[in-house]
Amino acid sequence: MYITIDEEDKRPVYRQVADEIKGLIASRELREGVALPPVRQVAADLGVNLNTIAAAYRELKKEGLLIVKHGSGAIVSTSSAQAVRKDADLRKPLRAALAQMVLAGLSRSEVLAAVDEEMRALLKNHA
């Protein structure tokens, strides 16, 4: 599992970690049933506090993307996430990201090109 932290990013580190893991799940680099590395290992690898990684794992559990069992670790569970999320809930972060792109001065075609590029990257492992 390869995760990076961007110190220039305004999001909290736990959110960056959670978002990176979501991206790995969406691109199928992490599949249903795969165990994630222990919190201590990820924290050591990234050089962050273990509570930061624990918060990311808790967030992903709350969203239905992980099953966390104390002492057993965290396992990817996308099937429960699909049942929990509603279309309107899924669109909120998309709308926020699109608004940021428009406010940054990107044209409609630039936004659509960026969305298309990201979708291709996410779906590259889907058969």
Q: Do residue 79 and residue 22 come from a single domain?
A: yes
Q: Which residue do the tokens 């699909």 mark? A: 82
Q: What is the largest distance, in Å, between two alpha-carbon atoms of the chain? A: 49
Q: What is the DSSP string of 57-80?
A: HHHHHHTTSEEEETTTEEEE-HHH
The pTM of the full predicted model, rounded to 2 decimals, is 0.69
Residue 31 lies in a domain: yes
Residue 70 lies in a domain: yes
Q: Do residue 102 and residue 58 come from a single domain?
A: no
What pLDDT is recorded for position 80?
Answer: 55
pLDDT at 127 exceeding the cut of 60: no
pLDDT at 75 exceeding the cut of 80: yes
Which candidate, 73, 66, 82, 79, places its Cα nearest to that of 39? 73
Q: Do residue 79 and residue 93 come from a single domain?
A: no
Residue 7 lies in a domain: no
